[in-house]
Chains A and B, each alone.
Chain A
Amino acid sequence: TQLLEQSPQFLSIQEGENLTVYCNSSSVFSSLQWYRQEPGEGPVLLVTVVTGGEVKKLKRLTFQFGDARKDSSLHITAAQPGDTGLYLCAGGQGAQKLVFGQGTRLTINP
């Protein structure tokens, strides 16, 4: 069974601080997606990474795929209250089902 472990599960920090969320697995994935989900809504895609060692930036968010394609991280610089939400990583093997982590619930306090 493929599993993705996200850490931390909950994170509450002050506006302006930096943070990193981790996504780890013992399985190799062909791609890894990061999604953000608001209460009562579906996940919204943030980024897809496919190459080992790949780094992608989206404004204040930096995503990295591990060299072995088993792990990933999301780093947010100077967090803002608008960054509050549930962040989900999901691993794909081919163009089939995604395996999701349990999510990181992030709260940014003004």
Chain B
Amino acid sequence: DTGVSQNPRHKITKRGQNVTFRCDPISEHNRLYWYRQTLGQGPEFLTYFQNEAQLEKSRLLSDRFSAERPKGSFSTLEIQRTEQGDSAMYLCASSLGLAYTDTQYFGPGTRLTVL
């Protein structure tokens, strides 16, 4: 078990461009979460999947953001028409999804810088 992986680790883009991040969860983990973390703050929840179903989306997730988990395995997070305020660390986490008190394991994150 290699843990949660995220790619790329760093992304620098110009304002207005689209970007896509990928997350590969721990195998056999049913739940997958996306969080965003800005400098000096704790992570903030964006959305989560139970297998391929997206079950909750935060109000932080504007129309420019879309997340998918097409086969219930890896997930992608796309940001369209990026803005400077999108600059942050995007974190993915996964959990077994079987227990009421499920533990989430985080990946190393993708740091996005929008110029």
What is the interface of chain A, defined by CB distance below 8 A to chain B? 4, 6, 30-31, 33, 35, 40-45, 48, 50, 88, 90, 92, 94-103
Would you call the interface of chain B mostly helix, strand, loop, or mixed? loop
Scan residues 31-53 of chain B and give those whose CB is less than 8 A from a CB of chain A.
Answer: 31, 33, 35, 40-45, 48
The distance in angstroms between the C-alpha atoms of A30 and B106, with both chains bound, is 20
Known A-B contacts A35-B106, A40-B111, A97-B48; the reply to A92 vs B101 at CB < 8 A is yes
B42 touches A97 (CB 8 A): no
Kindly report which residue of chain A lies nearest to residue B42, judged by CB atoms: A100
Interface residues on B, range: 20 to 34
**B9 smallest CB distance to A (angstroms):** 8
**Among A41, A45, A99, which residue has its beta carbon within 8 angstroms of that of B108?**
A41
The distance in angstroms between the C-alpha atoms of A44 and B93, with both chains bound, is 11
The distance in angstroms between the C-alpha atoms of A97 and B33, with both chains bound, is 8
B42 touches A90 (CB 8 A): yes
- Could you pull out 28 A-B pairs where Cβ atoms are within 8 angstroms? A30-B100, A30-B101, A33-B104, A41-B108, A41-B109, A42-B93, A42-B108, A43-B106, A45-B104, A50-B101, A88-B42, A90-B42, A90-B43, A92-B102, A92-B104, A95-B95, A95-B97, A95-B99, A97-B45, A97-B56, A98-B33, A98-B45, A98-B104, A100-B43, A101-B42, A102-B41, A103-B40, A103-B42
